Amino acid sequence: MSILAITDLHIDLRTSDGPRPIVDGIDLVLEKGRIHGLAGESGSGKTMTALAILGLLPESMKSSGSIALMRDGATTELLGASRQVLAAIRGRRVAMVFQDPSTSLHPQISVGRQLTDHMRHHLKLGKREARARAIELLERVSAPDPSGALSKFPHQFSGGQRQRIAIAVALACDPDVLLADEPTTALDVTVQAGVLQLLRELVDDSGLSVLLVTHDLGVMSAVADEVTVMRSGRVVESAPREQLFTHPQHEYTKSLLAALPGSALEESPEALVHELLAAPIQEDAQ
């Protein structure tokens, strides 16, 4: 069953030379209770796609198409939705976790309040109930010393712990969809392992649906159920995880896997150097 459907999404950047396409017509379906990986390199448009879902695109970007959130038979159109609709959806039905653990939490508000504030707003909980639920959430994400953590501030935690807390904040109102934009990229690999395990547990145990945006194909291989690969604003390939990694169809996907140590298609260092030197000069940076 689908929970989020992106159809023919276009995002253009207004420049002094006219509109420049960032996302050029993509389709994506997120199934309920699954982790859908959105893979691509810098500039592929994957982050903008995630931001578009929650109406977080900067003013200079124009979007068109459809992003539909489906629940209990009712469909809510998110693209171009009014502020009231978005306010009701954000945090409550669709939540987001970002890349940088040092800026994903407000540095001057206690962890407890960051958890309970929007819970109380969206779910109309009383103070005590909210607090109890906050402790529960922190336990769920294996944050250290959950009841003590409520009165602490983000800087008192490590990067990995902050990311877990950010996930707890995102889950506070029991959303249907979690958008995760490079959630483990800034973390050490041993810390990343724990966060990936957490994501997988949340999906398997509570039926959460996750759109995981990352460039890291290793992470995709570990937790994603389906993978969509983007390049220059377009979808290049979309397939179940195992199929994508063992039998990629598109040349671009194959080249990504070839450059990746440990993948089935991995190439030797000599071959990689040869390709690098023989490659036509890419277009200059903007």
Site for other proteins in 73-132 (CB under 8 A): 99-102
Gap between the Cα atoms of 201 and 223, Å rounded: 10
Contact 104, 162 (CB under 8 A): yes
Nearer to other proteins, 74 or 189 (CB): 189
Using the 8-state DSSP alphabet, how is residue 260 labeled?
A: S
| Position 281 contacts other proteins (CB under 8 A) | yes
| Position 277 contacts other proteins (CB under 8 A) | yes
* 220, 230, 235, 236: residue in contact with other proteins (rule CB under 8 A): 220
* 215, 234, 250, 254: residue in contact with other proteins (rule CB under 8 A): 215
| Position 276 contacts other proteins (CB under 8 A) | yes
Beta strand ranges found along 72-125 (DSSP E): 74-77, 94-97
φ/ψ (deg, to 5) at 22: -100, -45
Site for other proteins in 136-175 (CB under 8 A): 159
Pick the stretch among 26-34, 65-73, 111-119, 244-252 that binds other proteins (CB under 8 A).
Answer: 244-252
Site for other proteins in 28-57 (CB under 8 A): 41-43, 47-48, 57
Contact 42, 215 (CB under 8 A): yes
Least gap, CB of 100 to other proteins (angstroms): 7
Gap between the Cα atoms of 187 and 159, Å rounded: 7
* 13, 85, 86, 88: residue in contact with other proteins (rule CB under 8 A): 13
Pick the stretch among 26-34, 58-66, 132-140, 172-180 that binds other proteins (CB under 8 A).
Answer: 58-66
Enclosing H/E stretch for 3 = strand 2-15
φ/ψ (deg, to 5) at 64: -150, 165
Gap between the Cα atoms of 232 and 43, Å rounded: 6
Nearer to other proteins, 64 or 197 (CB): 197
Structure tokens at 127: 């103070």
Gap between the Cα atoms of 248 and 254, Å rounded: 6
Site for other proteins in 180-209 (CB under 8 A): 182, 185-190, 192-194, 196-197, 200
Judged by CB under 8 A, the number of residues near other proteins is 72
